[in-house]
Amino acid sequence: MRSMIELSGISKSYGTGATRVPAIGNVSFSVAAGEFVSIVGPSGCGKSTILNMIAGFLPPTSGTLSVDGIPVAAGSVPQGLGYIFQKDTVLPWLTVGDNIGLGLRYRHEQKLRIERKVADLLAMAGLSGYEKLYPHQLSGGMRQRVALLMTLACDPAVLLLDEPFGALDTHTKIVLHKELLDIWRRLKQTIVMVTHDLDEAVTLSDRVIVLSAPPSRLILDHRVSIPHPRDVFSVREQEAFAGNVRAVWHVLGDEFRRNQAFDRIVTGSAA
Residues 6+ positions from 36 with CB-CB distance below 8 Å: 184, 190, 191, 193, 204, 205, 206, 207
Residue 14 contact among Mg ion, ligand ATP, none, beta carbon within 5 to 8 Å by kind: ligand ATP
Biggest distance spanned by C-alpha atoms of the chain: 65
252 binds ligand ATP (CB under 6 A): no
Cα 258 from Cα 191, distance rounded (Å): 30
The answer for 143, left when phi > 0, alpha when psi is -120 to 50, beta otherwise, is alpha
Query: Which of 38, 48, 189, 212 forms a contact with Mg ion (CB under 5 A)?
Result: 48
Query: Which of 44, 56, 166, 215 forms a contact with ligand ATP (CB under 6 A)?
Result: 44
Cα 221 from Cα 211, distance rounded (Å): 9
Residues 6+ positions from 46 with CB-CB distance below 8 Å: 12, 23, 24, 27, 211, 214, 216
Q: Which is nearer to ligand ATP, 40 or 202 (CB)?
A: 40
Residue 45 contact among ligand ATP, Mg ion, none, beta carbon within 5 to 8 Å by kind: ligand ATP
Cα 151 from Cα 81, distance rounded (Å): 9
Q: Which is nearer to ligand ATP, 28 or 95 (CB)?
A: 28
Q: Which of residues 55-114 bind ligand ATP (CB under 6 A)?
A: 86
Residue 151 contact among ligand ATP, Mg ion, none, beta carbon within 5 to 8 Å by kind: none
DSSP structural state of residue 227: P
Q: Which is nearer to Mg ion, 161 or 235 (CB)?
A: 161
Residue 43 contact among Mg ion, ligand ATP, none, beta carbon within 5 to 8 Å by kind: ligand ATP
- The minimum distance between CB 44 and Mg ion, in angstroms, equals 8
Q: Which is nearer to Mg ion, 46 or 78 (CB)?
A: 46
Query: Which of 38, 48, 144, 244 forms a contact with ligand ATP (CB under 6 A)?
Result: 48
Q: What stretch of H or E contains 266?
A: helix 239-267
Residue 23 contact among Mg ion, ligand ATP, none, beta carbon within 5 to 8 Å by kind: ligand ATP
187 binds ligand ATP (CB under 6 A): no
Q: DSSP for 116-161?
A: HHHHHHHHHTT-TT-TTS-GGGS-HHHHHHHHHHHHHTT--SEEEE
Tell me which residues touch ligand ATP (CB under 6 A): 14-15, 21, 23, 43-49, 86, 214
